[in-house]
């Protein structure tokens, strides 16, 4: 590069010539200049979204291969492929073609396993990415809408997954659809109609695989791609958040520029993700449909579970005590199904709306570009921990039978323990997390004011022993003191001299959020502290 | 439960040639009652006289000497709970009429003598030699008619795996899992994995219904179908998954744990490496 620019401008290198050629025809230079110099802060937790994105790319590539061979038909055939224990068994074309992909098409099983593993990774990476965003407060203004878009992507990813693992029409996927059928029928009045509409008649019918296939390869991927694009545009528009540090202000973004460093890293990282998935797919079986056999409404295998991301819904159904279904007004009211659906619905809506709720409670209309350390927002972190506990309890409940067998417990004991975890656990988690956060903040204060314990014990001439405290370096101190605290809102009458209910609610919520708080060390305190010790 | 069980037991000691004809006759409900009464009267008395009628499979095994040896073993190892004459006590059920198959299964898999009372008898290392197991089995078989140890052609896995797989999914998989990986039952009971159980023991379990397992008698699942089921299970035992490590064959829970811990875990480690400062 340098030789091309300094020595002989007329004798350009190939890269330079190609760049000029492309730019003269597309005027892309302005775009590259704008985007290529965008800084991307470097932190491992900022790459979790990329893991999700790259896993999705792997899903798209492997899925395209699978569409070449999969036939989404529920017509009946007798299997005549290579897998002996299914030879001659009657099954749908969908199942038979999936078996052919697994046993008779070169590389088919590898790609099928890669597709499924990548899908699991896709949703898992989204989950971890969302937790990072939540606990660092990266959803605050101006990024609230991007949180919503991300949340929609999470739900779309779950829908993609569910429609996907229902396609092979094996016993496990049929059991999953049977549960969905039951849940839909649990809705009062309209349930049965909706079920017949979805399945084209009585469950299971002969339509559902074809319909799910259209959703799985056409509508849902298009939506995911569109929302991913929007998500990324917003990331560029907002700039990336960064953790507090010297020189990092709300107005800048410190890190390597996208071109060339960051693009190279990210591009390489894509191949790493691809490679890890290829390794997993080649070594570990996933969804061995040949064990499950074709769908038949009568058998259900022990250990029948959905894929992990639907587990929380399955767990919610398992945790409902018996007897919540009764007949009233000549209709069956299935509260054993409605209560989990409502509970999960409320949970999802609260999580989706959380950025707006927190902003309203704070009355904060400023932009925030510095990511919080979780301890510095104790109430938010505690709410997050409560939500994680709730979700994890439901999630664990989906494997209640396996917990029982693998840890030599009774199934009833596991269920009752998890019922307690789901209902009481969030409160316990909230309380513990909040106290831990405040304790950590106190520790930070202590360290900023007095330095950290060096472990060096010194005997003074007078015979007194002291431990030497070493002061922090400036960089570390900056990290520990740069955060914001909020104080509870004052309840004030509005312009007409009234205190509205909304105001009272907000003041109450604000008190709940910010009553217990640790303020960052101020400059004055720091100087006073230094004076004391030196 | 009981009458049915006895019926299948008395049927089992008849020779296989008669079985087909007799079964159709016995389908009549009154025939059951009559046969039961007859069976109880006859077998009770007749067995004392010629107790060698039980086992055709190994005619040399059930000599009086074998039975005597079995009785000694029984009185030393089993009588505490099952009583000196296998008549049963508060601690353990009567073994009169359970047949050689039940003993061969329970003792041969190490479940008996039982380690401790619990939701169900746990497997432990087998305590007796094969010969001793057989001696015990024929002693118990000599006390009353019951299912015999099955013949080799039914348990060697030479049947139709596809038929067996289908029967297994319909009759067995709800407790034992489609791949025979085992599953949970209520109150701490469980269906054990079938991944290393021998064909003979699988057959015996089906005809005797050990622990919490129901009895699948020959009218429910024919001996040939049982052979097919064993064939399928042997296929699963002998052929590892074509997709790689099975992760316990317990389904999506293991897969989910794997992708979170090892898949996402390794990628998070890589993100830390990628963003590590160079110095």
Single out the residue of A187, A184, A219 nearest to residue A199, CA to CA.
A184
Classified by CATH at the fold level, domain A44-372 comes out as Cytochrome Bc1 Complex; Chain C (1.20.810)
| pLDDT > 70? residue B112 | yes
Greater pLDDT, A210 or A39: A210
What average pLDDT score do residues A140-145 get? 93
Q: For B89, phi and psi rounded to 5 degrees?
A: -135, -170
A266 to chain B: nearest residue by CA? B274
A91 to chain B: nearest residue by CA? B166
Structure tokens at B259: 């992708």
**Do you find a cis peptide bond into A109, omega within 30 degrees of 0?**
no
Task: Decide if B2-143 and B152-238 have a common fold.
Answer: yes
| pLDDT > 80? residue A532 | no
Q: Which pTM does this prediction carry?
A: 0.87
Give the separation between CA A22 and CA A29, rounded to whole angstroms. Answer: 9
What average pLDDT score do residues B78-103 get? 90
Cα-to-chain-centroid distance, residue B137: 14
A407 to chain B: nearest residue by CA? B188
Q: Which residues of B touch A280 (CB under 8 A)?
A: 258-259, 262-263
pLDDT in tens, B204-222: 999 999 988 999 999 999 9
| pLDDT > 90? residue B278 | no
Give the separation between CA A423 and CA A442, rounded to whole angstroms. Answer: 30
Single out the residue of A52, A41, A50 nearest to residue A258, CA to CA.
A41
Q: For A13, phi and psi rounded to 5 degrees?
A: -70, 165
Question: Residue B264 and residue A410: Cβ atoms within 8 Å?
Answer: no
* Chain B closest-CA separation from residue A293 CA (Å): 8
Question: Residue A47 and residue B271: Cβ atoms within 8 Å?
Answer: yes
| pLDDT > 90? residue A125 | yes
Of the partner residues A285, A302, A411, the one whose CB lies closest to the CB of residue B246: A285
Single out the residue of B155, B132, B144 nearest to residue B57, CA to CA.
B155
What pLDDT, on the 0 to 100 scale, is given for residue B29? Answer: 65
Give the separation between CA A48 and CA B102, rounded to whole angstroms. Answer: 57
A89 to chain B: nearest residue by CA? B162
pLDDT in tens, A216-242: 999 999 999 999 999 999 998 988 899
Q: How many CB pairs under 8 A join A and B?
A: 198
What pLDDT, on the 0 to 100 scale, is given for residue A1? Answer: 43
| pLDDT > 60? residue B56 | no
A165 to chain B: nearest residue by CA? B252
**B188 pLDDT band (50/70/90 cuts)?**
confident
Greater pLDDT, A359 or A330: A359
| pLDDT > 80? residue A364 | yes
| pLDDT > 50? residue A462 | yes
The complex scores an ipTM of 0.91
* Chain B closest-CA separation from residue A299 CA (Å): 5
What pLDDT, on the 0 to 100 scale, is given for residue A12? Answer: 80
Give the separation between CA A204 and CA A223, rounded to whole angstroms. Answer: 27
| pLDDT > 60? residue A98 | yes
What pLDDT, on the 0 to 100 scale, is given for residue A461? Answer: 93
* Chain B closest-CA separation from residue A176 CA (Å): 12
Is the distance from CB of A479 to CB of A486 less than 8 angstroms? no
Tell me whether B164 touches chain A (CB under 8 Å): yes
What average pLDDT score do residues B39-64 get? 56
Give the number of other Cβ atoms within 10 Å of residue A188's Cβ. Answer: 12
| pLDDT > 90? residue A251 | no
Question: Residue B256 and residue A307: Cβ atoms within 8 Å?
Answer: yes
CATH of B152-238, one of 2.40.50.140, 1.10.10.10, 1.10.760.10, 3.20.20.80: 1.10.760.10
Q: Which residues of A touch B165 (CB under 8 A)?
A: 85-86, 89, 293
Q: Which residues of A touch B176 (CB under 8 A)?
A: 302
Domain ranges of chain B: 2-143, 152-238
Domain ranges of chain A: 2-36, 44-372, 434-533
Classified by CATH at the fold level, domain B2-143 comes out as Cytochrome Bc1 Complex; Chain D, domain 2 (1.10.760)
| pLDDT > 70? residue A276 | yes
What pLDDT, on the 0 to 100 scale, is given for residue A97? Answer: 96
Mean pLDDT of chain A: 91
What pLDDT, on the 0 to 100 scale, is given for residue B10? Answer: 44
| pLDDT > 80? residue A422 | yes
Question: Residue A287 and residue B236: Cβ atoms within 8 Å?
Answer: no
Q: Which residues of A touch B170 (CB under 8 A)?
A: 296, 298-299
Mutate to test the interface with A, among B119, B173, B259, B262 (most CBs of A within 10 A): B259
What pLDDT, on the 0 to 100 scale, is given for residue B2? Answer: 47
Give the separation between CA A274 and CA A118, rounded to whole angstroms. Answer: 9
Give the number of other Cβ atoms within 10 Å of residue B137's Cβ. Answer: 31
Task: State how far the alpha carbon of B203 is from the alpha carbons of A471, B206, B228, in Å.
Answer: 75, 5, 11
What is chain A's alpha carbon radius of gyration, rounded to the nearest angstrom?
29
| pLDDT > 70? residue B242 | yes
Residue A468 in 3-state DSSP? strand
What average pLDDT score do residues B268-274 get? 93
Question: Residue A299 and residue B253: Cβ atoms within 8 Å?
Answer: no
What average pLDDT score do residues A155-166 get? 95
């Amino acid at each position: 590069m340098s030789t091309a620019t300094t020595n002989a401008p007329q004798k350009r290198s190939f890269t330079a010539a190609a760049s000029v050629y492309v730019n003269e025809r597309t005027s892309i230079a302005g775009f590259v200049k704008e985007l290529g110099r965008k800084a991307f802060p470097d932190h491992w937790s900022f790459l979790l979204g990329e893991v999700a994105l790259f896993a999705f790319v792997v899903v798209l590539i492997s899925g395209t291969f699978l569409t070449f061979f999969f036939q989404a038909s529920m017509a009946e055939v007798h299997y005549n492929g290579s897998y002996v224990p299914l030879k001659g068994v009657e099954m749908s074309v969908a199942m038979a073609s999936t078996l052919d992909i697994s046993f008779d098409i070169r590389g088919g099983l590898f790609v099928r396993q890669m597709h499924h593993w990548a899908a699991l990774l896709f949703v898992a990476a989204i989950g971890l990415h969302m937790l990072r965003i939540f606990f660092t407060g990266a959803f605050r203004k101006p990024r609230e809408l991007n949180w919503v878009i991300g949340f929609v992507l999470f739900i779309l990813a779950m829908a993609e997954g569910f429609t996907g693992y229902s396609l092979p029409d094996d016993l496990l996927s049929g059991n999953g659809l049977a549960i969905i059928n039951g849940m839909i029928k649990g809705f009062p009045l309209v349930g049965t109609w909706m079920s017949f509409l979805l399945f084209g008649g009585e469950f299971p019918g002969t339509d559902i695989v074809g319909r799910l296939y259209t959703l799985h390869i056409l509508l849902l991927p298009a939506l995911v791609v569109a929302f991913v694009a929007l998500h990324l545009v917003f990331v560029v528009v907002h700039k990336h958040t960064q953790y507090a540090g010297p020189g990092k202000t709300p107005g800048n973004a410190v890190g390597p520029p996208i071109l060339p460093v960051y693009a190279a890293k990210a591009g390489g990282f894509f191949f790493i993700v691809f490679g890890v998935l290829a390794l997993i797919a080649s070594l570990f079986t996933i969804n061995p449909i040949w064990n499950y056999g074709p769908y038949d409404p009568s058998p259900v295998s022990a250990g029948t579970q959905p894929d992990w991301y639907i587990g929380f819904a399955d767990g919610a159904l398992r945790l409902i005590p018996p007897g919540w279904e009764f007949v009233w007004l000549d209709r069956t009211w299935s509260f054993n199904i409605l209560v989990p659906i409502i509970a999960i619905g409320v949970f999802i809506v609260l999580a989706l709306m959380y950025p707006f709720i927190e902003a309203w409670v704070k009355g904060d209309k400023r932009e925030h570009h510095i990511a919080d350390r979780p301890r510095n927002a104790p109430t938010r972190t505690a709410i997050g921990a409560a939500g994680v506990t709730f979700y994890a309890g439901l999630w664990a409940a989906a494997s209640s039978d396996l917990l029982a067998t693998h840890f030599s417990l009774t199934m009833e004991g596991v269920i009752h323990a998890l019922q307690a975890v789901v209902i009481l656990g969030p409160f316990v988690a909230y309380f513990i997390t909040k106290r831990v956060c405040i304790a950590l903040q106190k520790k930070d204060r202590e360290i900023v004011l007095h330095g950290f314990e060096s472990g060096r014990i010194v005997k003074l001439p007078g015979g007194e022993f002291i431990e030497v405290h070493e002061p922090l370096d400036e960089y570390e101190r900056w990290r520990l003191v740069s955060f914001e605290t909020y104080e509870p809102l004052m309840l004030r009458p509005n312009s007409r001299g009234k205190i509205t209910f909304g105001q009272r609610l907000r003041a109450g919520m604000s008190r709940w959020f910010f009553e217990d708080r640790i303020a960052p060390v101020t400059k004055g305190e720091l100087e006073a502290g230094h004076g004391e010790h030196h | 439960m009981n009458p049915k069980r006895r019926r299948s037991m008395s049927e089992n000691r008849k020779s296989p040639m008669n079985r087909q004809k007799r079964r159709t006759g016995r389908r009549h409900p009154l025939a059951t009652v009559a046969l039961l009464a007859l069976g109880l009267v006859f077998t009770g008395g007749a067995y004392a006289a010629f107790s060698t009628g039980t086992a055709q499979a190994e005619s040399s095994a059930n000599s009086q000497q074998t039975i005597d040896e079995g009785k000694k073993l029984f009185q030393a190892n089993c009588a505490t709970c099952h009583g000196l004459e296998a008549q049963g006590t508060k601690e353990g059920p009567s073994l009169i009429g359970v047949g050689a198959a039940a003993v061969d299964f329970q003792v041969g898999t190490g479940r008996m003598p039982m380690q401790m009372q619990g939701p169900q008898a746990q497997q432990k290392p087998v305590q007796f030699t094969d010969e001793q197991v057989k001696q015990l089995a024929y002693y118990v078989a000599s006390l009353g008619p019951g299912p015999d140890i099955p013949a080799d052609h039914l348990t060697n896995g030479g049947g139709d795996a596809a038929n067996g797989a289908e029967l297994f999914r319909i009759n067995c998989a709800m407790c034992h899992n489609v791949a025979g990986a085992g599953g949970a039952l209520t109150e701490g009971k469980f269906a054990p994995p079938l991944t290393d159980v021998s064909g003979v023991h699988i057959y015996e379990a089906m005809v005797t219904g050990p622990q919490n397992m129901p009895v699948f008698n020959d009218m429910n699942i024919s001996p040939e179908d049982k052979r097919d089921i064993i064939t399928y299970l042997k296929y699963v035992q002998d052929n590892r998954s074509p997709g790689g490590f099975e992760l316990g064959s317990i389904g999506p829970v293991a897969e989910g744990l794997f992708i979170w811990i090892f898949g996402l875990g390794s990628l998070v480690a890589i993100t830390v490496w990628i963003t590590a400062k160079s110095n």
